[in-house]
């Protein structure tokens, strides 16, 4: 659904999973989320790229866990008992993303062309849009570019 | 009608028939007088024709039809089985194969094989001057039972008739028409025989006519009018059967052969009915699930050991036995006899040895040896390389063999056998062998080793140079081999299957290539080790031994730690440093060395603790992490934790 709002911003109505990393609020489109689990023991993978924390055993499938906080330049809070792993998938790749807490699933009007996204001082590389929930800003995570970069990173590391 | 859903079945079955034809044609070449082989060939060709016609492959059907004509002339003895005919039929198979795979790829069959069709037609025209009269009733053979029935009925004044039925062109439900004919005739008497057999009639495996032998007391005219009343059915001819005459023709070996062939056909059919084709992916899924079950079983065992409840332990033990049975069963389901791979070699050896003017006898042993499906799919290519090499370089031309006092016909042996959890495949020829000094010279000339090193290397090490990429002792490149891409491909393929290759050779006596493969790829034996707090798995097949690390035995050579083990000097790799394990630097007493090998090279891996030997299920790390050098995959331990499997080959 595409609405034209005042100010010429294109917003789209999306259903997102709302989670937090440190003080910030993020969202991931619900189609890309497979499930949300409590943290499982992570096995470190030697020689793996730096952004990979390790792998977990999700009911017999081996799934890499990405240090999302590192990639976004943020810091996860100390374990407060609420932390979760969001199992997300994009095309053939399934990954785990460690987050501080999952708030819920919400409908948002996402703005894909907000001027904030173009400002250089904010790390917006993996953010594709912004939505407002009450008085909070929710940054929509761009899983595709995140995983594309991850693959690139891997190739660089090989060379 | 949408035929696409039958495509898979058609492809699989036609491939089976082509393989069958191939095998039997080669057998026929060796035993030209064996009628049952001819019958088998005929049967395969006929089925293939039917299938091709149903799928709309007109050209394929036409070619098989012409093949059938020639085959029937062979069967009747009107032309003799000769090499040129076998050649012709074999090249027909090649074209059939090409047409079918072309059809599969782009949905229409390529326009080839006209030359072959013409050649077959010429052959059949020259061979048959009198093929018309072939279906006189006197040619029909009865088996003993049918004969006794015929005789008995004649004695009790019944009459036997030979009725030929023709169906109208374009009859849709031929089997139903045939059934109506049968119903009609059964009102009059007893049907003792029909051509083709009832089963083929039911499956519509016949053209537009069939023949029936009926015993009856009724008037033949009445039967004919009743039959003609069935729509689309016409009585072509009715003749009374003269048993005395037919009993003469049926005596002798011919009949025995045909019943034998019939028996084998029947047993073949029975076998087919008992098998089910399963998508290999489903088997993979099943294997995964069984792997999960094994892991969970281990987990339950661990939990139970904390409770000391005998009832629980009993139940878990029972479950353990069941999972073990299930695991071995699933493994067995995935096993395929290596015959599937070996079957294509007689033809290949025949063609190549003809083109090289060498006379070679191929001996195949242990073709029933079973291997995991995934291994079977991969092993064909390296074997083709090895056999081509043996035929081209190994086996000498006949005149050279004669001078060397060897039998004119060379021997090429292809053997498979199981040894424990491994399968050994040997390719052995009695040709000229490999001249190790020549290899040494070439290796120095081409810069694979430097001259001084070359003098020092032992024969075994020199032979291993053959497996280096780009190395070939043959200076001439030809059709069959000599481009120097062969042996390194063989080696890398086998190693990717966790196997090893060795060569044994004796100058003038021959060469033997020995391939050692694991039975299966999905589950392997591994040694679990601890480095710091982390557990790693090292595949057992690359481990030589394990030993204590005694500090006095460590020496430094050019800043590299080496370790003296008996008389060997082994480079030492500290896993804690290699794998960058955190918290592993504090020395807490003993350390161990795991001696691993790749080919003839050895090195020692230093680990903190040996946990034990265990069967592990290899799991891929997924797209994001695949292809990291040094890591072969991961596995899930009994406690649900993931352990990384080290790829020993990449450490060298």
Greatest mean pLDDT among A26-30, B292-296, B301-305 lies in A26-30
pLDDT in tens, A32-42: 999 999 888 89
Q: Show residues of chain A in contact with B636, CB under 8 Å.
A: 57, 60, 62
Q: Are A87 and A36 in contact (CB under 8 A)?
A: yes
**Banded pLDDT at B413 (limits 50, 70, 90):** very high
**Which of A47, A59, A92 to mutate against chain B (most B CBs within 10 Å)?**
A47
Instruction: Please tell me the predicted confidence (pLDDT) of residue B266.
Output: 45
Express as a percent the part of chain A with pLDDT over 90.
19
**Banded pLDDT at B385 (limits 50, 70, 90):** confident
Residue A34 CA to residue A30 CA, distance in Å, equals 8
Residue B619 DSSP one-character state: B
Packing angle of the helix pair B243-250, B144-155 (nearest 10 deg): 160
Q: Is the Cβ pair A56, B642 closer than 8 Å?
A: yes
Q: Show residues of chain B in contact with A62, CB under 8 Å.
A: 619-622, 634, 636, 642
Structure tokens at B369: 């040896």
What are phi and psi for residue B358, nearest 5 degrees? -115, 150
ipTM value greater than 0.85: no
Greatest mean pLDDT among B59-63, B215-219, B336-340, B536-540 lies in B536-540
Instruction: Please tell me the predicted confidence (pLDDT) of residue B480.
Output: 45
Cβ burial B441-470 (10 Å sphere, 16+ → b, else e): ebbbeeebbeeeebeebeeeebbbbbbeee
Kindly report the average pLDDT of chain B as a whole number: 78
**Which of A34, A43, A59 to mutate against chain B (most B CBs within 10 Å)?**
A43
Greatest mean pLDDT among B141-150, B155-164, B494-503, B532-541 lies in B532-541
Q: Which residue is closest to B640 within chain A, CA to CA? A: A57
Instruction: Tell me if chain B has a CB within 8 Å of the CB of A64.
Output: yes
| Among A55, A60, A147, beta carbon nearest to B621 | A55
Q: Are B442 and B407 in contact (CB under 8 A)?
A: no
Instruction: Please tell me the predicted confidence (pLDDT) of residue B643.
Output: 92
Instruction: Tell me if chain A has a CB within 8 Å of the CB of B352.
Output: no
Q: Which residue is closest to A52 within chain B, CA to CA? A: B625
In angstroms, the separation between the Cα of residue B534 and the nearest Cα of chain A is 8
| Among B292, B623, B634, beta carbon nearest to A55 | B634
pLDDT at A130 over 80: yes
pLDDT at A159 over 70: no
- More reliable by pLDDT, A83 or B473: A83
Choose among B283, B384, B637, B649: nearest CA to B497: B649
Residue A142 CA to residue A71 CA, distance in Å, equals 12
pLDDT at B133 over 60: no
Least confident of B52-66, B293-307, B444-458, B471-485: B471-485
Q: Are B498 and B520 in contact (CB under 8 A)?
A: no
In the three-class reduction of DSSP (H, G, I as helix; E, B as strand; rest coil), residue A76 is classed as coil
Instruction: Tell me if chain A has a CB within 8 Å of the CB of B583.
Output: no
pLDDT at B595 over 50: yes
Structure tokens at B312: 């629980």
| Among A43, A60, A93, beta carbon nearest to B624 | A93
- More reliable by pLDDT, A58 or B249: A58
Q: Is the Cβ pair A57, B641 closer than 8 Å?
A: yes
Instruction: Tell me if chain A has a CB within 8 Å of the CB of B195.
Output: no
Q: Show residues of chain B in contact with A60, CB under 8 Å.
A: 288, 291-292, 295, 619, 636
CA angle B451, B457, B463 (to 5 degrees): 105
pLDDT at B207 over 50: yes
Instruction: Please tell me the predicted confidence (pLDDT) of residue B219.
Output: 76
Least confident of B146-155, B163-172, B480-489, B589-598: B480-489
**Banded pLDDT at A13 (limits 50, 70, 90):** confident
User: Residue B595: beta bridge partners?
Assistant: B545, B604
Instruction: Tell me if chain A has a CB within 8 Å of the CB of B573.
Output: no
Instruction: Tell me if chain A has a CB within 8 Å of the CB of B237.
Output: no
pLDDT at A55 over 90: yes
pLDDT at B380 over 90: no
**Strand pairing class (B554-557; B560-565):** antiparallel
Q: Is the Cβ pair B579, A46 closer than 8 Å?
A: yes
Please indicate whether residue B68 is annotated as part of the active site: yes
Find residues 505-564 of chain B whose CB sits inside 8 Å of chain A: 534
Choose among B493, B474, B353: nearest CA to B411: B353
Q: Are A76 and A47 in contact (CB under 8 A)?
A: no
Q: Are B387 and B513 in contact (CB under 8 A)?
A: no
Instruction: Please tell me the predicted confidence (pLDDT) of residue B171.
Output: 73
- More reliable by pLDDT, B449 or B531: B531
Instruction: Please tell me the predicted confidence (pLDDT) of residue B538.
Output: 92
pLDDT in tens, B57-92: 788 888 888 888 888 888 777 777 777 888 888 888
Instruction: Tell me if chain B has a CB within 8 Å of the CB of A68.
Output: no
Instruction: Tell me if chain A has a CB within 8 Å of the CB of B27.
Output: no
Instruction: Tell me if chain B has a CB within 8 Å of the CB of A125.
Output: no
Residue B368 CA to residue B418 CA, distance in Å, equals 10
* C-alpha distances out from residue B561 to B519, B571, B604, B607, B643, Å: 36, 6, 10, 15, 27
Domains, chain A, ordered by start? 2-158 (2.40.50.180)
CB atoms within 10 A of CB A116: 12
Instruction: Please tell me the predicted confidence (pLDDT) of residue B253.
Output: 45
Rg (CA), chain B: 33
pLDDT in tens, B337-355: 888 888 888 888 888 888 8
Express as a percent the part of chain B with pLDDT over 90.
4
């Amino acid at each position: 659904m595409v609405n034209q709002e005042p100010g010429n911003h294109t917003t789209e109505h999306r259903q997102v999973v709302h989670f937090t990393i440190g003080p910030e609020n993020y969202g991931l489109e619900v189609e890309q989320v497979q499930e949300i689990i409590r943290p499982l023991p992570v096995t470190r993978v030697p020689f793996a790229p730096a952004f990979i924390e390790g792998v977990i055993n999700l009911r017999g499938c081996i799934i890499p866990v990405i240090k999302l906080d590192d990639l976004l330049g943020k810091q996860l809070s100390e374990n407060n008992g609420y932390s979760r792993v969001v199992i997300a998938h994009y095309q053939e790749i399934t990954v785990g993303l460690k987050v501080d807490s999952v708030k819920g699933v919400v409908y948002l009007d996402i703005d894909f062309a907000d001027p904030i996204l173009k400002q250089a001082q904010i790390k917006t590389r993996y953010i594709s849009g912004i939505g407002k929930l009450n008085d909070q800003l929710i940054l929509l995570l761009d899983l595709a570019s995140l995983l594309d970069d991850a693959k690139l990173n891997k190739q660089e590391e090989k060379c | 009608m949408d035929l696409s859903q039958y495509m898979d079945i058609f492809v699989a079955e036609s491939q089976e028939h082509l393989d069958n034809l191939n095998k039997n044609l080669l057998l026929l070449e060796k035993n030209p007088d064996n009628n049952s082989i001819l019958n088998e060939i005929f049967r395969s060709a006929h089925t293939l024709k039917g299938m091709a016609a149903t799928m709309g492959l007109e050209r394929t059907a036409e070619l098989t039809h012409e093949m059938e004509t020639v085959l029937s002339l062979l069967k009747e003895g009107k032309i003799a089985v000769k090499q040129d005919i076998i050649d012709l039929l074999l090249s027909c198979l090649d074209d059939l194969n090409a047409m079918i795979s072309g059809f599969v790829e782009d949905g229409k069959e390529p326009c080839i094989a006209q030359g072959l069709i013409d050649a077959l037609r010429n052959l059949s025209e020259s061979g048959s001057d009198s093929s018309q009269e072939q279906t006189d009733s006197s040619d029909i053979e009865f088996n003993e039972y049918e004969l006794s029935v015929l005789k008995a009925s004649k004695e009790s004044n019944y009459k036997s008739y030979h009725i030929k039925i023709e169906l109208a062109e374009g009859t849709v439900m031929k089997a139903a028409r045939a059934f109506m004919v049968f119903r009609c005739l059964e009102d009059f008497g007893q049907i003792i025989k029909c051509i083709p057999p009832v089963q083929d009639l039911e499956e519509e495996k016949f053209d537009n006519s069939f023949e029936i032998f009926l015993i009856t007391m009724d008037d033949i005219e009445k039967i004919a009018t009743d039959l003609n009343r069935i729509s689309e059915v016409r009585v072509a001819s009715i003749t009374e059967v003269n048993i005395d005459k037919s009993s003469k023709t049926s005596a002798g070996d011919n009949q025995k052969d045909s019943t034998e062939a019939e028996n084998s056909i029947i047993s073949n059919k029975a076998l087919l009915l008992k098998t089910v084709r399963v998508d290999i992916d489903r088997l993979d899924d099943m294997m995964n699930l069984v792997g999960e079950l094994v892991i969970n079983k281990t987990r339950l065992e661990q939990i139970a050991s904390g409770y000391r409840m005998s009832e629980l332990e009993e139940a878990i033990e029972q479950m353990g036995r069941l999972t073990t049975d299930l695991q071995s069963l699933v493994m067995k389901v995935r096993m395929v006899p290596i015959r599937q791979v070996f079957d294509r070699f007689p033809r290949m050896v025949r063609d190549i040895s003809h083109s090289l003017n060498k006379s070679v006898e191929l001996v195949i042993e242990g073709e029933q040896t079973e291997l995991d499906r995934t291994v079977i799919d991969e092993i064909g290519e390296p074997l083709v390389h090895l056999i081509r090499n043996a035929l081209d370089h190994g086996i000498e031309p006949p005149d050279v063999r004669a001078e060397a006092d060897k039998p004119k016909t060379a021997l090429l042996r292809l053997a498979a056998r199981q040894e424990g959890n491994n399968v050994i495949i040997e390719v052995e020829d009695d040709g000229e062998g490999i001249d190790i000094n020549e290899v040494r010279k070439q290796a120095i000339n081409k810069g694979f080793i430097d001259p001084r090193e070359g003098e020092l290397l032992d024969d075994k090490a020199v032979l291993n140079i053959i497996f280096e990429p780009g190395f070939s002792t043959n200076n001439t490149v030809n059709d069959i081999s000599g481009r120097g891409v062969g042996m390194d491909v063989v080696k890398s393929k086998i190693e990717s299957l966790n196997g090893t290759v060795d060569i044994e050779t004796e100058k003038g006596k021959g060469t033997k290539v020995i391939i050692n493969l694991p039975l299966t790829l999905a589950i392997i034996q591994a040694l679990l080790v601890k480095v710091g707090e982390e557990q790693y798995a090292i595949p057992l097949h690359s481990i030589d031994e394990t030993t204590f690390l005694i500090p006095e035995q460590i020496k430094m050579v050019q800043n590299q730690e080496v370790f003296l083990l008996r008389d060997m000097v082994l480079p030492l790799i500290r896993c804690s440093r290699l794998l960058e394990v955190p918290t592993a630097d504090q020395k807490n007493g003993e350390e161990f060395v795991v001696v691993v090998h790749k080919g003839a090279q050895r090195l020692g891996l230093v680990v903190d603790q040996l946990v034990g030997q265990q069967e592990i299920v290899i799991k891929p790390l997924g797209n994001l992490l695949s292809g990291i050098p040094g890591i072969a995959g991961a596995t899930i331990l009994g406690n649900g934790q993931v352990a990384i499997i080290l790829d020993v080959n990449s450490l060298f």
